[in-house]
Amino acid sequence: MKLSELKGIGKKTEQLFAKAGVNTVEELFYYYPRYYDVFEAPVTVRNLECDRTQAIEGKVVRELTVKRIRNLQVIHGYLRDDEGAAVRATWFNAAYLKTKLQIGKRFVFRGFVKESMGSFSLQQPKIYSLTEYQEKMGEMQPVYPLVAGLTNNVVCKTIKQLFSIMEPKESIPLSVREKYRLIPIKTAIKNIHYPTAKEELETAKKRLVFEEFFHFIFALRNLKEDSREMKNAHILLEPEEVRTLISKLPYKLTKAQCRTWEEIKTDIASDKTMNRLVQGDVGSGKTIIAIFAVLTAALNGEQGALMAPTEVLTRQHYDTICQLIENNQIEEVVPVILTGSMTVKEKREAYTLIESGTANIIIGTHALIQEKVNYKNLALVVTDEQHRFGVRQREAIWGKGKNPHVMVMSATPIPRTLAIIMYGDLDISVIDELPSDRLPIANCVVGTEYRPKAYGFMEKQIAQGRQVYVICPTVEYSEAVEGENVIEYAQKLQHIMPVSVRIAYLHGRMKPSEKNQIMNQFAEGKIDILVSTTVVEVGVNVPNATVMMVENAERFGLAQLHQLRGRVGRGAHQSYCIFINGSGKKEATDRLDILCKSNDGFYIAGEDLRLRGPGDFFGVKQSGDFEFKLGDIMNDVMTLKEAAEAVDKIAAGELKLTAIERKMLTQKSMENINL
Ligand code: ADP
Ligand code: MG
C-alpha cells in the first residue's frame, strides 16, 4: 500500500518518506525511533549539565528583553529556581512569550543546555505548566530519524494512523518463537514505537533484532546450499606476470599478505570452487591481494571482476589497477570500469567489451550485476567491503558466471567465532599485520576548546604539503539532530583558515558524479581539507592525508572510529588523529581513550562493548556497516548466536515449520532481504 493512501499524506510527504527510505505503508512499521525523549524530573540550576536537554522549574524574574538581529527576533529571559540560582534562556521569533510569561509565575522550562563563555543557557525551552509537565513525566516519546522537511510530529501521526488500519505480519515461525521466547511481532512493533517501560523496550528490541539476524542467516545458508562443495570450473594458476609484479612492487608484502595470497592460489587451483573471506584491518593491504586475484583470472584467459560498494572506491581501484598494468607493462590485460553514474553510451561500450571478452578485468559498483551485463567467462569475483552488498546482490553476481570463485574482503573487525556464524562455511584468511613502514598514528581525545589549537596544527601540516580530513556526524543543520554538520562546518573553516587553504565537503546525499569529482580532487592534492561525513569510511586511500579530526566523536562507535582513522597513516608521513568529544562528558572521554591505547580493531571493539555494557539502547553501533536496522553483531552477539542456532535447527528438522511458514521464509530470504 502506498503512503499517499493514508489520510493527510500528500505526494510531498510521500516523497519525504521515500527519501527517508520508507516506500510503502508496511515499511513504516519498521521505521524505528532513533531514541526516546524521556521527560525527566526537573533539576535545579546548579545541577544543569551542558549539551543535553533538561527541565528546570522556576519563574521569570525580570522583564524579557527583545533584540532584533537582521530578521531574527531574539528574546532573552532570566529563570530563577527555588534555590535562588538563575539561568538565561533564549528564544527566537516568539513574540507571544511576552504575554505568556508573566513575571513571578512558575513554569517548567525544558530545553537544550548550552555553555558559552563559562555560563549555561537554555536554548528555546518549551514551557509547561506544572500540571502539564507532571503528566508528561516518565513518558517515552519516540524520536525518529528525519530528513529535511519531515518533522517528528508528522512521523508520529502517520505511524499512529498506521496502527489503526493494519497490523505487521508475523515472519518468524511459531516453533522458533516458542523456543527462543520471542514476543509476537504485533507486540514488538507496538512497543518499539510506544514503549511504556524500559523492560518492554528490551523484549521488543530483542525480538526485532532476532528477526533481522534470523532472516539474514537463513538467506545466507540458502545461498550456500547451492555453492557448497562445488566442483572447480575454473582452474587458475599463478601467472608469471603476477610473480614478477610481486618482485617489482615498491614494497615487500607482509607475511600475512603472502600467507593470504598462498591460500587463495591453493583454492583456485584446487578441485573445489573458492569461497573465501579475507579479513584485514584498515590499511593492512587487502587491495593488492584482490588485484593479484583478478589479474590471475585475466591472465589465465578468463575474466575477473572486482566489486566495490561506492563509486569513489571503485574509481580508485580502477586507477590503481590501470597504473600497475602500465608500470609493469603487463600485456593482454584490459580493465574496464562500470558504474551507475556513467552515461548510457559509456555503459553500452563497457557491456560490449565485457560480453565479447575483450575486457578481462571488470571493476565496478552494483552496476556489475545488473541484468544487462553478460560476461564471456567470469572465473573470479572479488567484493571489497562486501558486507555492504545485499545477499541478493551477491547471489546475482554468482549467477553471472559458471560457478565463479568468490573472495570477499572486509575490514570489519569481527571475531572469528562471529564470522563463522555470519558466513558459515566460508574459508577465512586473516591479514593480521600492518606493513612495517607505517608509523603509528598519534591520537588525542580533546574537548571543543582545543579546536583553535587543532586548526593551527592543521594549517602547519597543510603548509608542509599534507592534507586533512574533518569528519562531522551530520550533513546539514537540523533541529532534530545535535552535532556538527558538514555543510556549515566547511563554511566556518573557510573563514578561520587562510584563504589559500582549499576546503571542500563530501556527504552521502551528493550525486555520485559530484562525490567522484571531490574525491578525485582530494586524491590529486587539489583539496587541502575535506570535511566529510563517514562516507570516507570505506576504503579510500589518500596516503598524503595525515590529519583526521573527528567532531562529535562521542557519537560514533569505537570500531567505526577505528575504521575512519584508517584513512590516515597510509603513507610514510607521521599521521595524527584528533577526536573531539563534543559532549564534554567524562564517560565519553574514557571510552574514546581506548582508541589512543590500541590500534587493534578487535581489541577496540571488544573494549567498547565491555565499557558500555549490553544495556545501552540504540547506543552507538559497533559495526554500522552491516546495515541491520537495530541489530549489531557485536552488541547483540547472544541473539546472533541464537538466530544462527535456530536456522541450524530448522535445517536439521529439529524445529518444525508449517508449509506456509516455509514458503514465507523462502520468499522473505529471496525478496525481502536487502541487507
Ligand atoms: P586496506 O586493507 O585498508 O584495503 P589498502 O589495500 O588500501 O588497505 O592499502 C593501504 C596502503 O598500503 C596502500 O597505499 C598500499 O599501496 C599500501 N601497501 C599495501 N601493502 C603494503 C606493504 N606490504 N608494505 C607497504 N605498503 C603497502
Ligand atoms: Mg580497502
Higher pLDDT, 299 or 23: 299
Task: Evaluate: CB of 286 within 6 angstroms of ligand 1.
Answer: yes
| Helices 558-565 and 586-597, axial angle in degrees (round to 10) | 50
| Distance from C-alpha of 358 to C-alpha of 332, rounded to nearest angstrom | 9
Q: Are 234 and 301 in contact (CB under 8 A)?
A: no
Kindly report which listed range (35-44, 371-380, 390-399) carries the lowest average pLDDT score.
390-399
Say yes or no to pLDDT of 9 above 80: yes
CB-ligand 1 contact for 282 (6 Å cutoff): yes
Q: Which of 415, 457, 400, 446 is nearest to 583 (CA)?
A: 446
- Hey, which of 261, 286, 289, 541 would you mutate to test ligand 1's pocket, going by the most ligand atoms within 8 Å of its Cβ? 541
Cα of 520 vs centre of ligand 1, distance in Å, is: 19
pTM: 0.68
Average pLDDT, the chain: 87
Mean pLDDT is highest, among 11-25, 45-59, 101-115, 453-467, for: 453-467
Predicted pLDDT of residue 673: 45
Distance 384 CA to ligand 1 centre (A): 14
Exposed / middle / buried, residue 50 (Cβ in 10 Å: 0-12, 13-18, 19+): middle
User: pLDDT digits over 155-207, tens only?
Assistant: 999 999 999 999 999 999 999 999 999 999 999 999 999 988 888 888 999 99
Q: What mean pLDDT comes out for the span 294-316? A: 92
Closest CA to 547 of 433, 436, 471: 471
CB 69 within 8 A of CB 94: no
Best residue among 246, 249, 251 to mutate for probing ligand 1's pocket (most ligand atoms within 8 Å of CB) is: 251
- Tell whether the model's pLDDT for residue 56 goes beyond 50: yes
pLDDT at 653: 93
Q: How many CB atoms lie within 10 A of CB 270?
A: 11
Chain segment 646-674, per-residue pLDDT in tens: 999 999 999 999 999 999 988 887 764 44
Average pLDDT (109-118) is: 86
Q: How far is CA 242 from the centre of its chain?
A: 35
Atom of ligand 1 nearest to the CA of 290: 6
- C-alpha 560 – ligand 2 centre gap (Å): 14
- Write the single-letter amino acid at 67: K
Q: Which ligand is nearest to the CA of 383?
A: 2
Residue 231's pLDDT band, with cuts at 50, 70 and 90, is confident
Query: DSSP string spanning 534-580?
Result: GGGGSS---TTEEEEEETTGGGS-HHHHHHHHTTSS-SSS--EEEEE
What is the Cα–Cα distance from 189 to 29, expressed in whole angstroms? 7
Calpha distance 540→604 (Å, rounded): 22
Binned at pLDDT 50, 70 and 90, residue 410 comes out as: confident
User: Which residue, by CA, sits nearest to atom 24 of ligand 1?
Assistant: 435
| Partner residues linked to 361 by β-bridges | 304, 335
What is the pLDDT, as a whole number, of residue 617?
Answer: 44
pLDDT for position 375 = 95
Q: Which atom of ligand 1 is nearest to the CA of 566?
A: 3
Mean pLDDT: which of 17-26, 325-334, 414-423, 591-600 is highest?
325-334
Segment of 109-123, 125-139, 348-362, 424-438 carrying the highest mean pLDDT: 348-362
Q: Assess whether the C-beta atom of 254 lies below 6 angstroms from ligand 1.
A: yes
Distance (Å, whole) CA 475 – CA 151 = 17
Among the bound ligands, the one closest to the CA of 282:
1
How many other CB atoms sit within 10 Å of the CB of residue 102?
A: 10
Is 403's pLDDT higher than 60? yes
